Structure 1
């Protein structure tokens, strides 16, 4: 497989994730009320209060809904950092594609791995935090989005981290002959 093919396929993935994360940041900043509502429901465990059975043993973990703004902006800052890291990796792949350069491809992969690890940390943080507050009992759709993003992040990390097969004889390592 050529360096350009590899770089372009990874550019598409990292660019897509960077764009998605940038839109998520924009949504958090332009419509904080919606996100404060969902974060507040999770932190306060408000949705479990009216249920006579679900979450009885977990309700002591609830936080005041007042924390929702602080948590939302902390998440937005982390998302901005991740977005910038994803864009940086995407542009590194664009440079490798444009110059058809194996060294640039390797450097882009290093940037992509770092960006994707942070991407995964964000969504693992959401799922672990949500699990702590029992969001899976009443906010299954939100948990499904977080789990889907973990799977997308893992698949992207695996693809980015795979070492491509050399495509030319010059790229293949010399093989020792056996007598």
Structure 2
């Protein structure tokens, strides 16, 4: 694989995830009601109120739904930071691609690994938090989105960490 193909493929993946997360933040800030609703349902565990058996022993974990607003803005703050880390890594990949610099490529990879690890931690926090509040019982589609994002992040991490075939050769 050529240097340009290697660096461009990583640039595309990291920039794509940065764009996706940036749009997610934009949506969270311009349509907070949707996420207040879903976060409120998760935190308050209100969807389990009519259940006699499912999640009955978990109900003590419920929080007031009013915490949804604060929770959303804390999450959006983390998403902003992570999207900036992803954009920074993407920009460094673009520099490596343009300059054909192996040193810049290594720097881009390091930045991407940090950004993608933070991306993974965000979605693991969602999965673990959702598990704590029993969202898997009545909000399976939301859990599926979070699990899908973990898998996408894992694939991106594996791709970014892949060694180029010319690793011991100088490009410049």
Give TM class, smaller chain. Answer: over 0.9
Are positions 1:144 and 2:120 aligned together? no
Q: CA RMSD in A?
A: 1.2
Q: C-alpha distance in 2, partners of 1:166/1:94?
A: 19
For structure 2, which runs of at least 5 residues remain unmatched after alignment? none
For structure 1, which runs of at least 5 residues remain unmatched after alignment? 173-179
Cα deviations by residue, 1:19-42 (Å, 9 ceiling, x for unpaired): 000000000000001000000000
Whether contact under 8 Å (1:126, 1:146) holds in the other structure is yes
Q: Show the 5 A alignment for 1:76-155.
A: 76-155=76-155
Radius of gyration: which is bigger?
1
Deviation at 1:166, TM superposition (A): 1.2
Deviation at 1:133, TM superposition (A): 0.3
Cα deviations by residue, 1:110-154 (Å, 9 ceiling, x for unpaired): 000000000000000000000000000000000000000000000
Q: Which residue of 2 aligns with 1:175?
A: none
Deviation at 1:161, TM superposition (A): 0.9
User: Could you say what secondary structure the match of 2:141 adopts?
Assistant: helix
Deviation at 1:4, TM superposition (A): 1.2
Are positions 1:12 and 2:12 aligned together? yes
**Greater share of helix:** 2
Q: Which residue of 1 aligns with 2:169?
A: 171
Q: TM-score, normalised by structure 1?
A: 0.93
Aligned residues: 170
Q: TM-score, normalised by structure 2?
A: 0.96
Q: C-alpha distance in 2, partners of 1:2/1:109?
A: 16
Deviation at 1:162, TM superposition (A): 1.4
